[in-house]
Copies of this chain bind each other. A is one copy, B any other.
Amino acid sequence: MEAPLPEPEPLKALIDALRRLPGVGVRSARRMAYHLLQHDVSGATQLSRALADAASRLRHCTRCNSFTESEVCAVCANPKRDSSLLCVVETPADQNMIESSHEYKGLYYVLMGRLAPLEGIGPMQLQFERLVNRALDGQVQEVILATNFTAEGETTAHYLSELFRERGLSVSRLARGVPAGSELEYVDAGTIAWALMERRST
């Protein structure tokens, strides 16, 4: 939907900039722009400031690679964390989900992506060497691979698993199975198959 009307330049620039957000096409971008300008100019100003602020103040934690304002993030700097466990996740959002389970007290490494050869994302782009160095700090005993259970996440886990095992680290992967609280009828067949293969004696 190209605009056949001569749009004022700042409006066009705003719509273009909004399209750089993931999942936002030209229609949504236009709707967002109109909304902000018509109903929420203070929201536009707030977002403008937040973006500039985040872009200038945030950097990657030198230990776990997640976003932080300081050299080392709050999780890595926490002495109560078990430094013998290193959990590898794709994104900070995944890290949040694991954290919210209250089941894990170790440390993390955030890949900020997953292997995706078709998009040109390989071991170099994800800085696997840096991750391996992190894992070989002498304290880590076990690396827990918590990448997604998608094709790309599985490939990433497989690749990393080889890498760590070669270096004598023990490696584990999150368990696959039927999700808590779910009815078998509504679980997909692939999950049921995995749950059967990995069944546990009680």
Measured CB to CB, the residues of A under 8 A from B are 1-11, 13-14, 16-18, 20-23, 27-28, 30-38, 40-41, 43-55, 57-58, 67-69, 73-75, 91-93, 95-97, 99-100, 102, 112-113
Docked Cα-Cα span, A20 to B28, in Å, equals: 14
Docked Cα-Cα span, A52 to B54, in Å, equals: 15
Q: Please list 28 pairs of residues, one from A and one from B, whose beta carbons are closer than 8 Å in the complex, sorted by A's number.
A: A3-B96, A4-B100, A5-B95, A5-B96, A5-B99, A7-B67, A8-B58, A8-B67, A8-B69, A8-B73, A10-B53, A10-B54, A10-B58, A10-B69, A13-B50, A13-B53, A16-B50, A17-B51, A18-B50, A21-B35, A22-B31, A22-B32, A27-B93, A30-B93, A34-B91, A36-B54, A38-B113, A47-B47
What residues of chain B lie closer than 8 Å to A67, measured between beta carbons?
A: 7-8, 11, 34, 37
Docked-complex contact A9 and B93, CB < 8 angstroms: no
Docked-complex contact B68 and A34, CB < 8 angstroms: no
Min distance, Cβ A8 to any Cβ of chain B, angstroms: 4
Docked-complex contact B58 and A52, CB < 8 angstroms: no
The answer to whether A37 and B54 touch (CB under 8 A), given A31-B22, A48-B48, A99-B5, is yes
Docked-complex contact B55 and A41, CB < 8 angstroms: yes
The answer to whether A5 and B75 touch (CB under 8 A), given A20-B46, A21-B32, A36-B21, is yes
Count the copies.
Answer: 2
Docked-complex contact A28 and B23, CB < 8 angstroms: yes
Min distance, Cβ A63 to any Cβ of chain B, angstroms: 14
Q: Which residue of B lies closest to A31 (CB)?
A: B22
Docked Cα-Cα span, A75 to B6, in Å, equals: 8
Most B Cβ at <10 Å: residue of A13, A38, A47, A113: A47
Min distance, Cβ A123 to any Cβ of chain B, angstroms: 17
What residues of chain B lie closer than 8 Å to A96, measured between beta carbons?
A: 1, 3-5
Docked-complex contact A44 and B37, CB < 8 angstroms: no
Docked Cα-Cα span, A113 to B39, in Å, equals: 10
